[in-house]
Structure 1
């Protein structure tokens, strides 16, 4: 049966987060955990918290979200990651906006907690995500497997109330995710015909650091902002290292 608003939580091995995420979304009409065949207690805990569970094998993020759009019958879909939390303030704003019918989708800002610290600068705020979608007016671009792109009819609107995002709770988690992004981004550069010229191993990390620390005011996050800016510069360097490896392995 179709409802006005369904929350969809994409999960894979999110047993530690899924219950709290579900609890923050009880104001919606329906909560669906769209699970990528988790190996931990995610599914059991989702059922225990009263959510519906749909399991679907993971190919990439764009296809997973598109599959959820097709599977969950609701006028509006609110996509939420398991490490994100909604709020009563956000609930009131979303209900008002979707009933106005002004837009077919909305960007939602996020307050990112990185290594336990609220990160207000350095590129992690407002960190808008296009997550509230009128189901019949939105589809995902299958060419964008990471950092998904929504094809939306009409111009989207913007929420004021953010998600709370418990992002990167440890350095090990940060490093693992950045390594995956590095590999994907390097492949994208290769497809665009960009060459790993020697000077780019210096200029691109330097630009990343200046962009994070100066342009995006990472200095206002203090030592935390400095560390994040240096880390992102390092992974920019690693991106070109991986690109060079791809070029060497090209048939």
Structure 2
């Protein structure tokens, strides 16, 4: 009998996450193995990971999906839990994850994610429950090769857990601006790679729709000023993404 059948590897990708990574790792110290793939941190990220017993591997940056597949390749146990540096596993979720690995009928499990925006946990705006597939059998799953917004591709059936994974996604306005530009740039590159194009009207029209969808249709107004700011962020991210895509298409031709 395989002794690793109910053991779990936690995988994390990092770059300059010194402010986040300690709390993240401390929330998963119960795991049998922690694997970190770092893409050239210049802060104390790698040192902190090593201090807390993680197995650290350093690689270049090919995009989110491919980097997570690298981390997955280093995992040595039957079950894998993927977590980001700005996420935390609560004791309640820990208990559910451990219990879920006893399942003989499921190959993976979705976890609800409760995200924080500038100090406030968000329960509308399309952000909650935000089920993400994070626990899965290594033999049954891999990540898509998307540069951003990667997902787990599972061969088999998946269940759902009820305790949320806490996500400290946007710490302050500076973090919002940085991530907006990062995701817009990566999104434009990904769309270009897939052969997408953009017209002059795409940026303003799609950005306006992103705001309306977030604030009105997904009830962002119930999140107060935070909901308005999330809708505004989605407007800006969408606008920049399509403007950059149009510029990239022009350069390519």
Q: Could you list the runs of 5+ residues in structure 1 that have no partner in the other structure? A: none
Which of 140, 144, 147 is residue 141 of structure 1 equivalent to? 144
Unaligned runs of 5+ in 2: none
Q: 5 Å matches for 1:85-124?
A: 85-124=88-127
The equivalent residue for 1:78 is 81
Counterpart selection for 2:210 from 199, 208, 230? 208
Give the aligned partner of residue 39 of structure 1: 42
Quick one: structure 1 residues 44 and 198, their matched pair in 2 at CA, closer, same or farther if it must change by over 3 Å?
Answer: closer
Residue 232 of structure 1: aligned partner = 234
Residue 169 of structure 1 corresponds to: 171
SS in 1 for 2:25: helix
Give the secondary-structure state (helix, strand or coil) at the position aligned to 1:184. helix
Moved more, 31-40 or 107-116: 31-40
Q: Taking structure 1 as reference, are residues 138 and 194 closer, same or farther at Cα in structure 2, changes over 3 Å only? A: closer
Range with bigger deviation, 180-189 or 9-18: 180-189
The alpha carbon displacement at 1:23 in A equals 1.2
Greater CA drift, 178-187 or 93-102:
178-187
Query: Does the 8 A contact of 2:109 with 2:136 survive in 1?
Result: yes
Query: In structure 2, do the counterparts of structure 1 residues 92 and 188 end up closer, same or farther at CA, with 3 Å as the change threshold?
Result: same
- Provide, for residues 62-88 of structure 1, a one-character-per-residue CA deviation record: whole Å limited to 9, x for no partner: 121111111110010111111111011
> TM-score, with normalisation over the residues of structure 2?
0.90
What does the per-residue CA deviation read over 1:97-117, in whole Å, with 9 as the maximum and x for residues that have no partner? 110122211222211111111
Partner of 2:199: 197
d(CA) in 1 for partners of 2:178 and 2:47?
A: 26
| TM-score for the superposition, normalised by structure 1 | 0.90
**Partners in 2 of 1:102 and 1:195 — Cα distance?**
43
Bigger mean CA offset, 212-221 vs 238-247: 238-247
Change (3 A) 1:64 1:218: same
User: Quick check: 1:20 aligned with 2:29?
Assistant: no
How far does residue 190 in structure 1 lie from its aligned partner after superposition? 4.0
The 8 Å contact of residues 35 and 71 in structure 2, kept in 1 or not, is answered as no
Label 1:161 to 1:99 Cα distance change in 2 as closer, same or farther (>3 A): same
Once residues 199 and 36 of structure 2 are traced to their aligned partners in structure 1, the CA distance between those partners, rounded to angstroms, is: 45
